[in-house]
């Protein structure tokens, strides 16, 4: 649900036992569940600050084949094709809560606007709807040494599988927090 990250936002876990991104201290996370005409649509926004330039942040986000190395519950991410600023990715992951697990398979189209935005839309997979946008905004660090970038992820998704009604919002919220925290940690880890 994420990322192309997609599948990640829905990757479900009840508790997060890891430190949130090294430089951000905390992430701003908002998940709303909207009911329209019998549909359940999750609207997601999460943002955090990373101590890195937009260029370095971009390099991590667009290193599609290596995403499973650091994004929780993303099992594979394969670049199927590229044409100019568009990439088609196939991603496989899993979502789960307690003993329930759900395989997630998505093919997404990523439109790249270098160093500023990545627009992601569902081509096929086990979501009825999935679209997201990653935004990179340079930040004047003021007293903080070095460049910083605000990473914002906005997305909407409608799973084509069961998500527990009472826990769905909390599961998605936990997952997007873990996803962005993992991205921030990886950006700051890489030279």
Is the pLDDT at 12 greater than 60? The verdict is no
Q: Are 45 and 35 in contact (CB under 8 A)?
A: no
Mean pLDDT within 102-131: 97
Write the pLDDT tens digit of every residue in 56-101.
999 999 999 999 999 999 999 999 999 999 999 999 998 766 667 7
**Is the overall model pTM greater than 0.85, yes or no?**
no
CATH code where residue 130 lies: 3.30.530.20
> What CA dihedral angle connects 125, 7, 46 and 147, to 10 degrees?
-110
Is the pLDDT at 141 greater than 60? The verdict is yes
Token digits of residue 79: 């670049």
179 lies in which domain range? 2-189
Q: Are 78 and 65 in contact (CB under 8 A)?
A: yes
Domains of the chain: total: 1
């Amino acid at each position: 649900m994420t990322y192309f990250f997609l599948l990640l936002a829905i990757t479900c876990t009840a508790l997060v036992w890891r430190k949130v991104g090294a430089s951000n201290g905390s992430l701003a996370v908002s998940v709303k569940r909207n009911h329209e005409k019998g549909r359940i649509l999750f609207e997601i926004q999460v943002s955090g600050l990373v101590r890195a330039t937009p260029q370095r942040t971009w390099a991590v986000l667009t290193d599609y084949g290596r995403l499973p190395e650091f994004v929780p519950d993303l099992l594979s991410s394969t670049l199927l094709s590229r044409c100019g600023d568009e990439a088609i990715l196939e991603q496989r992951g899993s979502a789960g809560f307690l003993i329930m697990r759900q395989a997630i398979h998505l093919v997404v189209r990523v439109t790249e606007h270098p160093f500023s935005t990545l627009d992601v839309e569902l081509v096929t997979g086990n979501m009825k709807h999935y679209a997201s946008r990653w935004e990179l905004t340079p930040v004047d660090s003021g007293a903080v040494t070095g460049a910083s970038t605000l990473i914002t992820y906005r997305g909407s998704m409608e799973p084509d599988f069961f998500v527990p009604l009472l826990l769905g919002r909390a599961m998605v919220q936990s997952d997007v927090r873990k996803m962005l925290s993992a991205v921030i940690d990886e950006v700051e880890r890489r030279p």
